[in-house]
Amino acid sequence: MASSHVAPELHDKAKGRIPRAIPVRKGDTVRVMRGGFEGREGKVVSVDRVDGTVVVEGITIEKVDEKKVARPIHASNLMIVRMDDTDAWRRRRFEE
């Protein structure tokens, strides 16, 4: 599965009720921790569970024919900064 670490301040705010790493979902806000896009933040646009990669809004590369395409990033190179709270399980786990 495509899981990423949770930001320490988010983990502390939940008082340890959420695990250190959780699956990334569409709508989460993540920070890139490794690679050429290190330090950039954005919303998750899509998740490929087979490859374990995530497409983040605003992170693109330019191809040879000058087209801009989304650059998939492996989930292990991301940190979840803000979780999407539309999922009932995640919201309940975070607020208990």
pLDDT for 24 equals: 92
pLDDT digits (tens, 9 = 90+) for 66-75: 999 999 999 9
User: Which residue do the tokens 């896009």 mark?
Assistant: 37
The CATH fold assigned to 3-85 is SH3 type barrels. (2.30.30)
- Count of other CB atoms within 10 angstroms of residue 3: 16
Q: Where are the domains of the chain?
A: 3-85
Task: Say how many Å lie between the first and final Cα of the chain, rounded.
Answer: 25
Distance of CA 80 to the CA centre of its chain: 5
pLDDT tens-digit profile of 46-96? 999 999 999 999 999 999 999 999 999 999 999 999 988 887 877 777 776
